[in-house]
Amino acid sequence: MQKRRSVAFHTLGCKLNFSETSTLSRMLEQDGFEKKEFAEEADVYVINTCSVTHNADKECRQLVRRIQRKTPESFVVITGCYAQLKPKEIAEIPGVDLVLGAAEKFNITSHLKELHKNDAAKISSCDIDDVKDFNSSFSLNERTRTFLKVQDGCNYNCSFCTIPMARGKSRSNTIDNVINNAKQLAQNSVKEIVLTGINLGDFGNDTRNFYQLVQALDNVDGIERYRISSIEPNLLSNEIIEFVVQSKKFMPHFHIPLQSGSNKILGLMRRRYRKELYAGKIAYIKRLMPHCAVGVDVIVGFPSETENDFYETIEFINQLDVSYLHVFTYSERDKTKALEIKPVVPMHIRHQRNKTLRNLSYQKMQNFIMQHARTIRKVLFEDHNKNGMMEGYTDNYIRITSPYKKEWANEIIDWKI
């Protein structure tokens, strides 16, 4: 009897990557592979990579070296955005056996059947312009929450971003397929779905759009909560905001990328809005839903960002009624227009600015929590026992920690903040 092969996965990057890794894992399990934890010994290791920062590239190489030291006879497969952008560079990393680009990622089962230990890594990739298919994905590692991919690729060309080169043009699932996925997740006792995509607000085609998708999902039985993972401010229409206000399933929580509070920097970034539009969206949300959580993406140290530009960003965010920040230090990426912009901000200044905004984020979140002190919110608790404690999130994304109670796992509990 042939020994059952084992596979372990590691994911770098965004929620979309996690949804795809989970789907690849299920595909291989259905094909007879035994799933292992990444820290365990396995016959095959799959690393799903990111390309947003230099650190993600570096971490991928470190992971390969770690596998080589631990189990040198194991196969190492690299896929994801880094694999699409720099397949030859990855193939030269000692220990890598297979590099799968964007078009071949979901053909992993057939590639593994033909894989042999050779001196040279096999590359299976194509030009990103030839990637036109949409592959449906969702995470299913636990019952409580899942990331459901509904859109992929991006037609925007922000000057700092490699995603269009790694993911291709914007394309979407159909509303019918998304609904079927949601029903399947409901049958697996999932209580909350986080809608994910590269440019989520660009979902759809000429006749059907993201607003119609959220309307359709609101009627799916069995799913109690939805979150919109991240949506561009210029694509977050007032009708979507107004729909969330009256919906019982879409949570009062938006994550809206800003990137800079300086119109000069937004222009150099090739963003499709100005800070005045952004401020207007936040004001409209908070007027209709004062309790709504709003997360913000910000990039610090973009080329030519002066002290005045940075303090303009601080002042702008200070004035916004937002709940928390995700702060990114600008990272040079090959073939992006931002490389042509001078002067370059020194790395130590980038790190200082990152720390300043992370401190501001902490203050914003503490203020948001204090606004809800002594109020009762609904918390969905996760089934993880961490040293006798469990965690969950309120509808408006306040993290709650409580002594572990098995009967609360995957249940929505009224909680006094």
Q: Mark whether 164 and 121 lie in a shared domain.
A: no
Tell me if 365 is assigned to some domain.
no
Residue with tokens 């509904």: 150
Quote the number of domains for the chain. 3
Identify which of 284, 294, 298 has the alpha carbon closest to the alpha carbon of residue 371. Answer: 294
Tell me if 258 is assigned to some domain.
no
What does 40-86 look like in DSSP terms, one character per residue?
S--SEEEEEE--SSHHHHHHHHHHHHHHHHH-TTSEEEEEEHHHHH-
Encoded tokens for 137: 């994905």
Check: CB of residue 325 under 8 Å from CB of residue 46: no
Residue with tokens 């119109």: 263
What pTM value is reported for the model?
0.94
For helices 238-246 and 275-288, the axis angle rounded to 10 degrees is 20
Q: Mark whether 70 and 145 lie in a shared domain.
A: no
- Torsion over CA: 63, 64, 65, 68 (sign): positive
The parent domain of residue 172 ranges over 132-251
| pLDDT, mean of each 10-residue run, the chain (417 residues) | 82 92 95 94 95 80 93 95 94 94 94 84 91 93 86 96 95 97 95 97 88 97 96 98 97 98 98 98 98 98 98 98 97 95 98 98 98 97 93 97 95 96
Encoded tokens for 285: 């949300």
How does the average pLDDT of the chain come out, rounded? 94
Q: Mark whether 151 and 230 lie in a shared domain.
A: yes
Check: CB of residue 191 under 8 Å from CB of residue 145: yes
33-57 pLDDT, tens digit per residue, is 999 999 999 999 999 999 877 777 7
Tell me if 218 is assigned to some domain.
yes
Helix (H, G, I), strand (E, B) or coil at 255: strand
Last residue of a domain, one of 232, 251, 270: 251
Task: Tell me the CA distances in angstroms from 204 to 20, 200, 213, 252, one per residue in order.
Answer: 20, 9, 8, 23
Q: Cβ atoms within 10 A of the Cβ of 323, count?
A: 23
Last residue of a domain, one of 189, 216, 251: 251
Tell me if 315 is assigned to some domain.
no
Distance from C-alpha of 14 to C-alpha of 5, rounded to nearest angstrom = 28
Last residue of a domain, one of 86, 113, 130: 130
Distance from C-alpha of 237 to C-alpha of 216, rounded to nearest angstrom = 17
Distance from C-alpha of 46 to C-alpha of 98, rounded to nearest angstrom = 9
Can you name the residues that pair with 147 across neighbouring β-strands?
194
- Torsion over CA: 165, 182, 190, 239 (sign): positive
Tell me if 349 is assigned to some domain.
no
